[in-house]
Chains A and B, each alone.
Chain A
């Protein structure tokens, strides 16, 4: 009988190790539920959840919506394109309008770092951060760590390298926090321009050589180059990037051990990872997506348990 130490999920940084383990234990049960003939439980019958997506998303949005529906919650969806945001409405106004329609929980993706944290101070509903700019993406990190645990037995003591556009990646930051709390060693790898100058302060190793990083690690998490967030040129060409930091079959097979390959999606095939690697036995990319629903059900269930009845 555990309870989360936080009232909202804005980032992994606020969670304790025990919180993460509670979420994993709950997710184990939900993973069984979503493999039954009837994939639905009635726990959240009287809860309404709003999904507010101010930024594009396929996986996360679908995954959250499925998780909510499988918990029997009522769901309303909102996306910034085609809404009054374009007419100049502020975030607080938009959210308060939605909340006056009696919504208990808000799942939000927003392009600005700290948007979810800001929202928790302004509204009464529970907030789950589904990605805030370049800051955090907590449910992605939870499902990544959960998938590593599922594949390798445990996270503690494992070596994980995160490769690619670290400076623009909310997945990288959340993953670093989550993996370190669970006792894993983390390394980041990429061109110098895409790695934050002081990232070593978080206690991670830094490498600029992909082969060296892969030889060190048990798990490689390949990130996408986020061209939409890059206002200046960070490297000469995509072709050069993929030759230096792209993961291909030849490189993977030349290692003297089998490493696990992960990717948070969406994949740019041929840039950070080649098709034959993405579709290989070593890649657990689709397991990550499956686990995403179970993890999100667990997070929503544990936070909903704190909502007061009226």
Chain B
């Protein structure tokens, strides 16, 4: 009886010191890549680059990819409209049904709203997303935008480009900042209207289990 109790205690302690350490192991340490001032500067530059190529936006429409690209789109729209003093056609595109990982994830993704209430046929489309990583989202976005008609030209704008990690031959035309990252790392873009501050963070896996 005493032995049984002792061995239970022993294994419990063993578990505490080995297995639990494995759990503590996966702690993500954030590192700021862009702060509020830097994001503001980058957005200004992206606007000027867009104006360089698209002049007065007569035949150009901006499409934000749901869910996170939409917030970047809204910022750019405000800045561009202030600079050009005119309305710019903008829309949100949800790509859930065009993804290539249906039935390959544990739960189905619930779609967001699409609102594109103008003709895409013949227009120059700028797809906008916050982070470009594997390129699979953009491939789905290309498929999705084609169901609205045949655009004259499609370009891609991204705030963060995670270089060297592409699964598909897709590159951005306008890039906020290029970063080199590991697969185990994560990049998040925070917006003032959602998370309370403008900030881009890089999360790195900590190797020491002392956290």
Q: Do A and B bind each other?
A: yes
Within 8 A of A (CB), among B73-126: 94, 96-99, 102-104, 106-115
Contact of A1 among B99, B109, B114, B148 (CB under 8 A): B109
User: For residue A33, which residues in chain B have a CB less than 8 angstroms away from its CB?
Assistant: 97, 147
A37-B111 CB under 8 A given contacts A305-B102, A307-B103, A309-B104: no
Cβ contact within 8 Å between A38 and B147? yes
Interchain CA distance A32-B143 in the complex, whole Å: 16
Cβ contact within 8 Å between A29 and B96? yes
Question: Distance in Å from the Cβ of B67 to the closest Cβ of chain A?
Answer: 11
Those 6 A-B pairs whose CB atoms lie nearest each other, nearest first: A305-B108, A29-B111, A41-B97, A38-B147, A3-B107, A43-B97
Interchain CA distance A40-B147 in the complex, whole Å: 8
User: Which residues from chain B sit less than 8 Å from chain A, CB to CB?
Assistant: 94, 96-99, 102-104, 106-115, 143, 146-149
Cβ contact within 8 Å between A37 and B110? no
* Most chain B Cβ neighbours within 10 Å, of A22, A302, A305, A307: A305
Cβ contact within 8 Å between B107 and A42? no
Residue of A nearest to B146 (CB): A38
Of the A-B pairs whose beta carbons lie under 8 Å apart in the complex, a sample of 16, sorted by A's number, is: A2-B108, A3-B107, A26-B110, A28-B111, A29-B114, A32-B113, A32-B114, A33-B97, A42-B98, A44-B102, A301-B97, A301-B108, A304-B102, A305-B102, A308-B103, A309-B103
A29-B113 CB under 8 A given contacts A38-B147, A40-B147: yes
Within 8 A of B (CB), among A1-56: 1-3, 22, 25-26, 28-29, 32-33, 36-38, 40-44
Contact of A25 among B107, B110, B149 (CB under 8 A): B110
User: For residue B147, which residues in chain A have a CB less than 8 angstroms away from its CB?
Assistant: 33, 36-38, 40-41
Interchain CA distance A114-B99 in the complex, whole Å: 36
User: For residue A301, which residues in chain B have a CB less than 8 angstroms away from its CB?
Assistant: 97, 108
Contact of A26 among B103, B111, B143, B146 (CB under 8 A): B111
Residue of B nearest to A47 (CB): B103
Question: Distance in Å from the Cβ of A7 to the closest Cβ of chain B?
Answer: 13
Question: Distance in Å from the Cβ of B106 to the closest Cβ of chain A?
Answer: 8
Cβ contact within 8 Å between B114 and A304? no
Cβ contact within 8 Å between A41 and B98? yes
* A1-B109, A26-B110, A37-B148 given; 20 more Cβ-contact pairs under 8 Å: A1-B108, A2-B107, A2-B108, A3-B106, A22-B110, A25-B110, A28-B113, A29-B97, A29-B113, A29-B114, A37-B149, A38-B148, A41-B147, A42-B143, A43-B97, A43-B98, A43-B99, A43-B102, A301-B108, A305-B102
Cβ contact within 8 Å between B110 and A42? no
User: For residue B94, which residues in chain A have a CB less than 8 angstroms away from its CB?
Assistant: 29
User: Which residues from chain A sit less than 8 Å from chain B, CB to CB?
Assistant: 1-3, 22, 25-26, 28-29, 32-33, 36-38, 40-44, 71, 301-302, 304-305, 307-309
Question: Distance in Å from the Cβ of A4 to the closest Cβ of chain B?
Answer: 9
Question: Distance in Å from the Cβ of A270 to the closest Cβ of chain B?
Answer: 41
Interchain CA distance A36-B107 in the complex, whole Å: 27
Interchain CA distance A42-B147 in the complex, whole Å: 11
Residue of B nearest to A38 (CB): B147
Question: Distance in Å from the Cβ of A236 to the closest Cβ of chain B?
Answer: 52
User: For residue B107, which residues in chain A have a CB less than 8 angstroms away from its CB?
Assistant: 1-3, 305
Cβ contact within 8 Å between B108 and A3? yes
Cβ contact within 8 Å between B149 and A302? no
User: For residue B104, which residues in chain A have a CB less than 8 angstroms away from its CB?
Assistant: 309
Cβ contact within 8 Å between A2 and B110? yes
Interchain CA distance A258-B147 in the complex, whole Å: 39
Interchain CA distance A305-B107 in the complex, whole Å: 7
